[in-house]
């Protein structure tokens, strides 16, 4: 179990007050990192500290994920779509094998993590044999940097897109470039890819890394409203992002995702126009914005902050129960399937 996961009386009270009366009774979490400790044992400690998210959590076996989900959402039936921790130093092949086994046992639906230089025949054989829902590429597999100024096609080449098209599979896509969703090159490539591979289900992770509303608002303008794409909510906490999402996107295109185990820490975010800072109770090396102890003691787990933001945003947008059920469960079931 991740060392920074702890469920407290504050968390239980927060759930009872803000979440339990409104949370759907079925949840399909479409964005979870799942692995065993041995899959990341060769990742240097300094590599993990190089990115705040990696330091927050980088190990999560399937059984632990379900145990945590049962504690966080005790009144809901929970199902997971997961993928490996996608960094170059990890044992991605072994991690994929582990997830394939978990999928065979009907525990999860799994994406196949891929590297851009892998043999195409090997990739296709694994995709088909294990019935992976699709691919999970990642910029790090090409550049070693999450927001690097690289092309989508650098870390998911056209030959791999053609495999997804051939087998009508999905992709969980983390956008590159500092400009995120509205970056003109990202927009151009997304529109080109959408036209070239119409049978691929394209899920844009984190609303296109739109952790502040400006990115989503501007990105959707340039992307023609986002038609033909799906978006997941993973690690998006900003309430104003959900105002944009629920007013500009059809509910049928939004998939709930937590980004576990990254969101296990207790804290909040403060936002500027296009940036944010994390406020945490835990002693991460990046946690330089400490608040008084009594204030930090009142922090709840970040997963709950995210879920409250979704529920509040849906209420402000006037979304009914059917739309909320679609976001939390139905859309993922429709596009990813449930064993």
> What confidence score (pLDDT) does residue 191 get?
98
Give the integer Cα–Cα distance in Å for 243 and 234. 16
Q: What is the 3-state secondary structure (H, E, C) of 162-231?
A: HHHHHHCCEEEECCCCCCCCCCHHHHHHHHHHHHHCCCCEEEECHHHHCCCHHHHHHHHHHCHHHCCCEE
> What confidence score (pLDDT) does residue 313 get?
98
> What confidence score (pLDDT) does residue 160 get?
98
> What confidence score (pLDDT) does residue 166 get?
98
Q: What is the DSSP letter of 59?
A: -
> What confidence score (pLDDT) does residue 145 get?
75
Question: Helix, strand, or coil here: 6?
Answer: coil
φ, ψ for residue 83, nearest 5 deg: -155, 170
pLDDT in tens, the chain (339 residues): 778 899 999 999 999 999 999 999 999 999 999 999 999 999 999 998 889 999 999 999 999 999 999 999 999 999 999 999 999 999 999 999 999 999 999 999 999 999 999 999 999 999 999 999 999 999 999 987 767 899 999 999 999 999 999 999 999 999 999 999 999 999 999 999 999 999 999 999 999 999 999 999 999 999 999 999 999 999 999 999 999 999 999 999 999 999 999 999 999 999 998 999 999 999 999 999 999 999 999 999 999 999 999 999 999 999 999 999 999 999 999 999 974
Look at residues 178, 113, 182, 189 and name the one whose alpha carbon lies nearest to residue 145: 178
> What confidence score (pLDDT) does residue 118 get?
98
List, in order, residues 6 or more apart from 13 with CB less than 8 Å away: none
Give the integer Cα–Cα distance in Å for 270 and 274. 11
- CB contact burial 182-202 (16+ within 10 A = b; e otherwise): bbeebbebbeebbeebeebbb
CATH number for the domain formed by residue range(s) 9-336: 3.20.20.140
> What confidence score (pLDDT) does residue 85 get?
92
Give the integer Cα–Cα distance in Å for 309 and 234. 12
φ, ψ for residue 33, nearest 5 deg: -90, 125
């Amino acid at each position: 179990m991740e060392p920074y996961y702890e469920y407290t009386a504050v968390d239980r009270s927060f759930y009872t007050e803000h979440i339990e009366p409104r949370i759907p009774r079925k949840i399909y979490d479409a964005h979870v990192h799942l692995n065993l400790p041995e899959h990341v044992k060769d990742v240097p400690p300094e590599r993990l500290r190089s990115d705040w998210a990696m330091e927050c959590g980088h190990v999560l076996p399937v059984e632990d994920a379900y145990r945590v989900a049962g504690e966080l959402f005790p009144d809901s039936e929970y199902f997971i779509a997961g993928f490996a921790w996608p960094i170059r130093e990890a044992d991605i092949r072994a991690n994929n094998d582990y997830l394939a086994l978990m999928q065979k046992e009907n525990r999860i639906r799994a994406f196949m993590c891929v590297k851009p230089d892998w043999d195409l025949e090997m990739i296709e054989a694994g995709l088909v044999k294990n019935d992976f829902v699709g691919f999970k590429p990642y910029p790090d597999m090409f550049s070693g940097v999450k927001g690097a100024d690289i092309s989508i096609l650098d870390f998911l080449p056209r030959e791999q897109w053609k495999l997804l098209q051939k087998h009508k599979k999905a992709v969980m896509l983390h956008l590159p470039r500092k400009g995120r969703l509205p970056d003109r090159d990202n927009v151009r490539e997304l529109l080109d890819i959408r036209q070239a591979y119409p049978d691929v289900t394209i899920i844009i992770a984190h609303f296109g890394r739109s952790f502040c509303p400006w990115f989503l608002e501007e990105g959707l303008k340039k992307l023609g409203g986002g038609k033909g794409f799906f978006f997941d909510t993973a690690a998006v906490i900003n309430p104003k992002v959900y105002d944009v999402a629920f007013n500009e996107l059809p509910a049928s295109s939004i998939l709930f995702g937590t980004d576990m185990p990254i969101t296990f820490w207790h804290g909040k975010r403060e936002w500027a126009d296009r940036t944010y800072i994390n406020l945490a109770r835990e002693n991460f090396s990046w946690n330089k914005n400490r608040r008084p102890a009594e204030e930090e003691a009142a922090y709840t787990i970040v997963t709950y902050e995210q879920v409250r933001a979704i529920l509040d945003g849906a209420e402000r947008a006037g979304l009914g129960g059917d739309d909320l059920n679609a976001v939390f469960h139905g859309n993922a079931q429709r596009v990813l399937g449930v064993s």
